[in-house]
Chain A
Amino acid sequence: KNQVEQSPQSLIILEGKNCTLQCNYTVSPFSNLRWYKQDTGRGPVSLTIMTFSENTKSNGRYTATLDADTKQSSLHITASQLSDSASYICVVSDRGSTLGRLYFGRGTQLTVWP
C-alpha cells in the first residue's frame, strides 16, 4: 500500500531557531516528492519538488533533502519566523498513471513562538 508518514505530528519552536521535519514513504514507482506549506484555512502552497535524481533542493530558508534509496525526505527550516507557523505536508507522486497520482502525508503542524 502506498503511504506517506510524517514526523513529528506537531512541533513548537522559538523564533529564530532551526528545525527539521521528516517524511518516510513507500510509494512505488516513485516519480517525485514535494513539500507543501498549508496555512490554517488555506490551500497548500508548493515549497519544493524533487525527482529521483535530486537529493537536495532549496527555496529561501527551506531546504529539502531526498534519499530515494531509503525512501526518506526531510525539510529543514532555517532561522524560523512567526510566519512559518503552518502545516507542512509531504506529498509523493507515482509514475504508475498518466494522472500522476499524489499521496499525501498528514502534515507536521509547526508553531513558531516569539
Chain B
Amino acid sequence: EADIYQTPRYLVIGTGKKITLECSQTMGHDKMYWYQQDPGMELHLIHYSYGVNSTEKGDLSSESTVSRIRTEHFPLTLESARPSHTSQYLCASSANPEGVKSYEQYFGPGTRLTVT
C-alpha cells in the first residue's frame, strides 16, 4: 500500500467555517494532486503541483486553495465552507516521468467532507 496519508478521514462542519484538509506522502514524489469525487461520479482534478512552490488549478473549478511549501505536504484549504463543498476529496502523488511506471498515481484514503 502506498505511503500517502490524509487527515481527517471524515469532517462535518458548519457553513462559513475555514477548513484545511491535510495530505502527506513519504515517497519523495514531486507531483501531487487533489481530486474531488461525488458518489457514483468520476474523479475531477481540482489542483496539482509539480513540486515545491508550484501549484496549478485543475480541470474542475474549485473555491479551494492549495500550497506546496514542502515536498511531502500538500494541504487544501477552504476559507469559507458551503454545503456545495460537500464531497469526497482525494489526494494523490506520482514520481518524475522517467517511464510508464513513474506515471503511477498513488491515492490517499480520502477525506469525506460534509458541510451543514
Q: A residues within 8 Å of B by Cβ?
A: 4, 31-32, 34, 41-46, 49, 51, 89, 93, 98-102, 104-107, 109
Quick one: which of B78-108 are within 8 Å of A by CB? 90-92, 94, 97, 100-101, 103-108
Quick one: which of B26-76 are within 8 Å of A by CB? 31, 40-45, 48, 50
Q: List 6 A-B contacts (CB under 8 A).
A: A43-B6, A46-B105, A99-B48, A100-B94, A100-B97, A106-B42
* Minimum CB distance partner of A101 in chain B: B45
Q: A100-B97, A104-B42, A104-B43 are known contacts. Are A45 and B104 too (CB-CB below 8 A)? A: no
* Chain B positions within 8 Å of A100 at CB level: 94, 97, 103
* Minimum CB distance partner of B9 in chain A: A41
Main secondary structure of the interface of A (DSSP, over half): strand
Q: B residues within 8 Å of A by Cβ?
A: 1, 4, 6, 31, 40-45, 48, 50, 90-92, 94, 97, 100-101, 103-110, 112
Report the Cα distance A100→B109, complex, angstroms: 22
How many pairs of residues, A versus B, come closer than 8 Å at their CB atoms? 57
Given pairs A46-B105, A106-B40, 11 additional interface contacts (CB within 8 A): A41-B110, A41-B112, A43-B109, A43-B110, A44-B107, A45-B107, A49-B104, A93-B103, A98-B97, A99-B31, A109-B40
- What's the nearest-Cβ distance from chain A to residue B39, in Å? 10
* Chain A positions within 8 Å of B41 at CB level: 106
